[in-house]
Amino acid sequence: MTCQYSVFGDRLGDKLNMRLSDRIALITGGAQGLGKSIALAMAKEGATIVICDINTKTLPDAQSEIESAGARCLAVQCDVSSVDSVADLFRQTVSAFGTLDILVNNAALVQTGARNEEMRAKFYTMMTTPVPKESLGVTKDFSDEEWHKYWGVNVHGVFYCTREALRIMEPKKSGKIINIASIAGTGGFSAFHPAYCATKGAVLAFTRSVAIEVAGANIFVNAIACGGILTPPMESFLASQSDEGRNALHQIIPLGRLGRPEEYASLAVYLASDEHYLVGQTISPNGGMVL
């Protein structure tokens, strides 16, 4: 009996020492890439996890991986650009776990496809090699449909999820909201995609406004303006480039490499914890690209 009690006590002590013990955390776009890394990092710090993603193929494996890390996990298909889909996501969250303590607005459309990779490579070449300057020719050919699609996910989705979260957090006067933005919203490092830049800039402005609004309710709202992240799509892009092209990209970054997803995830855990006094701040892990 003494031995059993001791083991139980050690486990209980470990749980209590976790930074997010007994918290319910919802990560949008949490079944892949940076979102999954954040979900796993929060799970390892004791949080119960809800992940949503529009991609149903990745949800089961992500849920299994999070549960293997020792956390309870609810996986929900959700299109954050749909107000009805978001409302259903939050209904399922409250039904399963009773409340919500942490929201990470991570889901976003990012630049993919052959045309984007062409423009990205051209931009990096213009930034790093002595070639004649010229317009990238992106905005003049950008379609209305594509423009609205990016705003639907990257801005409207952040608003819909934040609104639902505040309806839970404000009555109990407690909560953490973390908006995943980008240096594309603070500088010209994604000049090859005007919609992505505009929407990420909007997320940063939205973060500041809401943070001031709800701080009096003990709700902390902050943003992470990510630099380059070594996610699978970026790995694919790098693999498609020559050694010279890869070196050109790394040359833009003073640290000389892209950030690993887990390096960004550790910051999200910190912002979700009770260890800080940050309200409405944008923190930018970017290897020195933006200072």
Q: Any catalytic annotation for residue 160?
A: no
Domain count, the chain: 1
Q: Output the pTM of the full model.
A: 0.92
DSSP code, position 185: G
Q: CATH number for the domain including 165?
A: 3.40.50.720
**Chain segment 98-135, per-residue pLDDT in tens:** 999 999 999 999 888 888 888 888 888 888 888 888 99
**Chain segment 2-13, per-residue pLDDT in tens:** 333 333 344 444
For residue 188, what pLDDT band results from cuts at 50, 70 and 90?
confident
Instruction: Examine residue 182 and state whether it is found in any structural domain, yes or no.
Output: yes
Active-site position among 124, 150, 160, 196: 196
Instruction: Examine residue 132 and state whether it is found in any structural domain, yes or no.
Output: yes
Residues 6+ apart with CB under 8 A from 160: 80, 81, 83, 86, 87
Instruction: Tell me the average pLDDT across 201-226.
Output: 98
Instruction: Examine residue 188 and state whether it is found in any structural domain, yes or no.
Output: yes
The domain of 141 spans 20-283
Question: Are the C-beta atoms of 35 and 53 separated by less than 8 Å?
Answer: yes
Residues 6+ apart with CB under 8 A from 64: none
Instruction: Examine residue 149 and state whether it is found in any structural domain, yes or no.
Output: yes
Instruction: Examine residue 265 and state whether it is found in any structural domain, yes or no.
Output: yes
Instruction: Examine residue 1 and state whether it is found in any structural domain, yes or no.
Output: no
Q: What are phi and psi of 259, to 5 degrees?
A: -80, 145
Is the predicted pLDDT of residue 1 greater than 60, yes or no? no
Instruction: Examine residue 181 and state whether it is found in any structural domain, yes or no.
Output: yes
10 Å CB burial of residue 234 (0-12, 13-18, 19+) is middle
**Chain segment 130-156, per-residue pLDDT in tens:** 888 899 899 999 999 999 999 999 999
Instruction: Examine residue 2 and state whether it is found in any structural domain, yes or no.
Output: no
Q: How far apart are CA 116 and CA 109, in angstroms?
A: 13
